Chains A and B, each alone.
Chain A
Amino acid sequence: MGSGTKIGRVRGLGSARQGGKHWISGMESSVASLLLSVWLVVSLLLLPNFDQATLAQWLGQTSVAVPMILTIGVFFWHTQIGLTVLIEDYVHDEGLKLGTLMLLKLYALAGTVFGVFAVAKIVFAGAGA
């Protein structure tokens, strides 16, 4: 490793040997997001109307709540993978990058927990009047 230019110092070291897994996860989560998006759009279009009572009754069913919880989890999984790439590409300061990636993980986790809780509340406690 020389002490020359930045590119000179990394030349010949090869890849970081960890990008492939992230790329595969991106594809997996995108296919899952695609399937669940189709499910969400189709089942919404099959509803007679979009009143709160109809939606609450619809979400309260196990056959809807389970894929909806899955959808929230998968969307945030894909969100985290996708935004990680954006942050790594566009945030150049190392400290800021680390902090932003931490915030992203927190956002994805908190969002998932909030969404799962919102659906579980309707299933177990019923929607408010």
Chain B
Amino acid sequence: MGQKASRPLSPHLLIYRWSPQMAISIVHRVTGFILSTAGMLVLLWWLAAIGGGAESYAIFKTYVVNAGEGATALETASNWFFRLAAIAVLYSFFQHLFSGLRHLVLDTGAGYELNANRTWAIAAFIAAFFATALVVLFVASRFIGA
């Protein structure tokens, strides 16, 4: 990609239909990036907040879990930002876990038959979606709202 293509290129390289197998490959990388950055930073923040005591843990909770009753507009806004980030990290965790399991199977040399490869790619997406939804509903019912 480094050099500019001044010669004519065959157009067939740019014409293709997206498939679940292609999507899961790039999603594995994107979710890995999210976990490595946002995920690890939240994990470190959580550990430091536990060590920092009840007050610093309350600050962590105000942002990531629930801004609470007397929250300012800014606190509520940041809370929603971090909630969305937390959902992204959670989804990334399950997606990366399931697509990672798929990669471990592929690394043994199995699962390359066209139908099997496609089926397991779709299965990993579905499993990640439901696992994320389950945890979000669990957290929402237990810690957020009335």
Query: What residues of chain A have their CB less than 8 Å away from a CB belonging to chain B?
Result: 6, 27, 30-31, 34, 37, 50, 52-53, 55-56, 59, 68, 72, 75-76, 79, 82-83, 86, 92, 111, 114-115, 118-119, 121-122, 127-129
The complex places the Cα of A112 from the Cα of B8 at a distance, in Å, of 49
Instruction: Please name the residue on chain B nearest to A123 by beta carbon.
Output: B51
Determine the interface band of chain B, counting residues with CB < 8 A from chain A: 20 to 34
B contact residues around A76 at 8 Å (CB): 40
List, sorted by A's number, 23 A–B pairs whose CB atoms are closer than 8 Å: A6-B3, A27-B104, A27-B107, A30-B100, A50-B143, A52-B53, A52-B54, A52-B58, A55-B50, A59-B50, A68-B47, A75-B43, A83-B32, A86-B29, A86-B32, A86-B33, A92-B1, A118-B48, A119-B47, A119-B51, A122-B51, A128-B55, A128-B56
A-side interface mostly: helix
Asked if B97 contacts A121 (CB within 8 A), the reply is no
Chain B's interface: helix, strand, loop or mixed, by majority? helix
Q: When chains A and B are docked, how far (Å) is the Cα of A118 from the Cα of B46?
A: 10
* Contact status of A52 and B57, CB under 8 A, knowing A34-B100, A111-B44, A115-B44: yes
A118 near B104 with CB under 8 A, answer no
Query: With an 8 A cutoff between CB atoms, is B93 at the interface?
Result: yes
| Of listed B57, B104, B107, residue having the most chain A CB within 10 A | B57
Q: Give chain B's interface residues, CB within 8 Å of chain A.
A: 1-3, 29, 32-33, 35-36, 40, 43-44, 47-58, 93, 97, 100-101, 103-104, 107, 143
Residues of the B chain whose Cβ atoms lie less than 8 Å from the Cβ of A68 = 47
Give 5 A-B pairs besides A27-B107, A50-B143, A79-B40 with Cβ atoms closer than 8 angstroms: A52-B53, A56-B51, A83-B33, A86-B33, A111-B44
Indicate the member of B35, B50, B58 with the most A CB atoms within 10 Å: B50
